Amino acid sequence: MSVPARITLRRLSTALPLTLLLACSPAPHAPPTPEASRGPVYALDLQVSGAQVAQASLHTLPAGTPGLSSQALETTPGDVQLGAQSVSSVTFVSRRGAQDIRHVNTTFMVTNPTGEPITNLVLLPVALTDTDGDPSNNATAPTLAGTPFRSVRLYGGQDAATQAPNLRVTRAQDLDLQTGVTRPHPQGTPFLTDLDLRGLQVTPPAGLSVTPQSGGWLVPGTLAPGASVPVTFAVDFPVDRQHPETQVFSFSLLFTSAQDRTGSEVGGPTDPARVVGTLHHPLLGQGARVEEQYLDYDRIEWVTAQNVPLAADGQVAFTLSTPPAGALSSLFECSDFVGDRSQPDALAVQANLQVIGTQGDPLGRALTTSLTPAGLTRLYVDRDIRVQGRCDDLAAGGTITYQDQLDLKRGWNLIQQQGRSTDTGYIIQRTSIPTGIWSRLTFQLGSPRVSVAAPQEGSSIHLPPGQSATVPFDLRQGGGISGPITLGVDVPGVTVSPSTLTLPSLTTQNLGAQALQTTLTFHADATLSPDWQPLNLTIRKDGQIIGRSLFILNDTP
């Protein structure tokens, strides 16, 4: 149901609580009385019965005078009004894995009453901590256990502070009543994670310290003076259906506001050929870079089209290259097509945007993600082609089915590519995405691995029977791996030493140093038959294979 309400978020308000009251019993329960102290703080109280909201009310709570600034997130130009003609709320319980989860979301209008536009409004949950343990000098009550929640209670009014860490802020969800599966609400306010908070400063209420969370709800684009937009807050937490008396009934969520004028943190409209954004990770110091890579099938090797250094704050901006002809392959990868297409086929390729650390280590990838929980792929094709249909590839032992709704132009395009397993194989759905969709660039740390940069894979090692060969090696650490690793070879009668190496920590190396430059000694016993044969150098950590490199063993005297 909808309830008229209006609330004003003071500019850069450090503690703006959203109080959500939940119940599984139809009996009403009064919301908790707001604490008394100094300054404006606001609470939206929701009271529900089962799955329906019974009533909503607003309360003013005290707070201190806040402030907010950073390189990307900065102050809004004035008060932002939350609440308009109605407030609507939804709550339901669904099964996710082995756990029952209650989801609650509430939507209301945000209005820009200032004379200036607000760009990329972000609402960030914050945690408040008592700095000296003396509650008498606090301007408002702290939150619980480092979370942005406080006043967590059960239906009967009992304190449920221990459940605060179980509450999780998220994007609004829908429930499929036929399957019982939840899915992101298509109109729900996007919730971004992994925002960079370096340099972010929020002034806390008196007697408290404040810690903003690294994720928040985003209103993308520009909110013009006088304009309004709906915003949906959402929270998930586990429940026990068999014991409703143990379920959380009410809680308060505290948050503050900011805007991102440049879009460096929250992203922006996407050009398929342009890679623009900010990458953050402790391993990505000054000197890190993005390599635009392609697997060239003609040359049987990875080709780097360009190297783009990251700025000191992690920002990167460049235009994708025209891929080498040897990297292009068939768009369909199967012969049995059913549907409509404007061309029999097209040659296509995706760029691999490898993120390289300051020591030359392949740490992970730069990915483009939309504001829905789905990634975007940049696809290059050598001609215009429209496709609506499917094709089955039976060559892999199972069936790989491509389901396409594509409208591609020669050059770079945006598509959404999703895959799922079935009882008989695998389905890959590819859908064209219009240019200009809102997206952001993110860094995905790779899986731990070690690669051999030198000597080149496939090179020869001369090792006659009964002799040893010492070879310089340059090892690169992928996925931020460090610590001890073990080495082994697969040719009987051949050993490698040292058999254990210790990889240095990437965060402690000097700029320009390689991950690990060392020498390995291979020894062949006298019984080894002179011959040419393959030799695999296998690298393990904690018993798991994290790297393998193939060489040609020359056993001839």
- Specify the pLDDT at position 37: 25
Same domain, 233 and 345: no
* Single residue among 378, 412, 445 that ends a domain in this structure: 445
Q: Which amino acid is at 209?
A: S
Q: Convert the pLDDT of each residue in 415-470 to its tens digit.
A: 998 888 877 788 889 999 988 888 999 999 999 999 998 998 889 999 999 999 99
- Specify the pLDDT at position 9: 33
**Rounded-to-integer distance, Cα 95 and Cα 335, Å:** 41
Same domain, 47 and 139: yes
pLDDT band per the 50, 70, 90 thresholds, residue 489: very high
* Single residue among 244, 260, 276 that ends a domain in this structure: 260
- Specify the pLDDT at position 63: 47
| 190: DSSP letter | P
Q: Convert the pLDDT of each residue in 232-269 to its tens digit.
A: 888 999 989 889 888 888 888 888 778 888 888 888 88
Same domain, 78 and 122: yes
Domain count of the fold of the chain = 3
Average of pLDDT values for 109-130?
A: 86
Same domain, 184 and 311: no
Residue 364 in this model has a pLDDT that exceeds 80? yes
Same domain, 69 and 161: yes
**Rounded-to-integer distance, Cα 432 and Cα 427, Å:** 17
**Rounded-to-integer distance, Cα 521 and Cα 471, Å:** 6
**Rounded-to-integer distance, Cα 506 and Cα 364, Å:** 14
What's the start-to-end Cα distance of the chain, in Å?
A: 87
- Specify the pLDDT at position 551: 94
Same domain, 525 and 422: no
* Single residue among 445, 470, 494 that ends a domain in this structure: 445
pLDDT band per the 50, 70, 90 thresholds, residue 80: low
Residue 41 in this model has a pLDDT that exceeds 50? no
Same domain, 244 and 277: no
Residue 38: Cβ within 10 Å count: 14
**Nearest residue to 441 (alpha-carbon basis) of 286, 256, 281:** 281
Residue 31 in this model has a pLDDT that exceeds 50? no
Give helix then strand counts, H and E, for the chain.
Answer: 0, 46
Same domain, 275 and 251: no
Q: Convert the pLDDT of each residue in 510-548 to its tens digit.
A: 544 456 889 999 999 988 877 788 999 999 999 999 999
Same domain, 412 and 363: yes
- Specify the pLDDT at position 1: 34
Residue 225 in this model has a pLDDT that exceeds 70? yes
- Specify the pLDDT at position 549: 94
Percent of the chain with pLDDT over 90: 37
Cα Rg for the chain, rounded, in angstroms? 29
SS3 for 501? Answer: strand
Same domain, 94 and 243: yes
Same domain, 484 and 396: no
Residue 342, token pair as written in the block: 């404007």
Same domain, 440 and 455: no
What is the residue-averaged pLDDT of the chain? 81
Structural domain including 344 reads 268-445
CATH assignment of the domain containing 517: 2.60.40.10
